[in-house]
Structure 1
Amino acid sequence: MAPLLGVIIGSVRTGRVGPTVARWFVRRASADGRFEARVLDLADVVLPMDLSGGPGVDELTRWVDGCDAFVLVTPEYNHGYPASLKLALDSVKLEWRGKPVGFVSYGGTAGGVRAVEQLRQVVAELHMASVRDAVLFPRVKKAFDAHGETSDGAAIDGAQRMIDQLLWWSEGAGQPYPHG
């Protein structure tokens, strides 16, 4: 059975492009065949701002516990990542530990790189292993065609490298590292 890759759409804003970006990445990861990918859209999860728990937190915790690796799909808002993603990360405790995580980000000219750098600090504190390669979409609204595909060679290559690294970490790191 293939490891389970949890893809989390971090933005909950109206008119967001996150679902398009996530669907593109899931197609890449699924076509590869080494992961079974499933998506969690944070717009569909009710989490209490006071971190008090409840049904939404219980659902998120079970979902996280069932995954072997993660990809966080995040925009960059004001040089950071969205509060909805921070709330989700903070709402779950032990279930994140020891699991690899990669990032697909998007935004203006920087493509979300500042959001990813902040997220790397947070996931390290959660005892997750962030993989080196990430996928960045500068000027995201011009990055995808009407069918949700991109011709961005750097993103396509970065996705493959990230998938290789996530697989390596999720399988216990027993094989030679995919240097790419």
Structure 2
Amino acid sequence: MSGLLLDSPLGPLWLTAEDGALTGCWLTRGRFLPPVPAEPPRRTDDPVLEAARAWLKVYFSGRDPGPTPPLTPKGTSFQREVWEQLALIPWGAATSYGALASTLAAKRGIPKMSARAVGGAVGRNPISLFLPCHRVLGADGSLTGYGGGLENKIFLLRLEGIPFRP
């Protein structure tokens, strides 16, 4: 596994990659942060981490960065299923926990799924920004939790021009 610490408008980001795919992107002051080395690297020769750095540069400039580098989030099969749906939310758009639950239920061929369970998986997203959990809002467009802090969620939504209810 390789890692890289990057400065961003949200504060330092800790990126990890393994086997040719990005496995993590965490705000260093967010929840669920894995251990970060005492002296984390700020340079890398890992092509995935370099691609992630370039993607983030475009993203934070306020433009759609296009396709992400390869992603391999680590989690349960249910979490990965939810995260696959996060990856489908386009730049500048938002969805709700209920809408995600309905989509997943239909995909599984079941009548309904718990929006709360979906929210739990969204909250454990290990590749923030690249799997855009910040684009998930309450059913009424209201802000809900964000592992990186609500002030950062507001920043990201405004950066993408996504309307929300404070």
Normalising by the residue count of structure 2, what TM-score does the alignment of the two structures yield?
Answer: 0.26
Structure with greater strand percent: 1
Structure with greater helix percent: 1
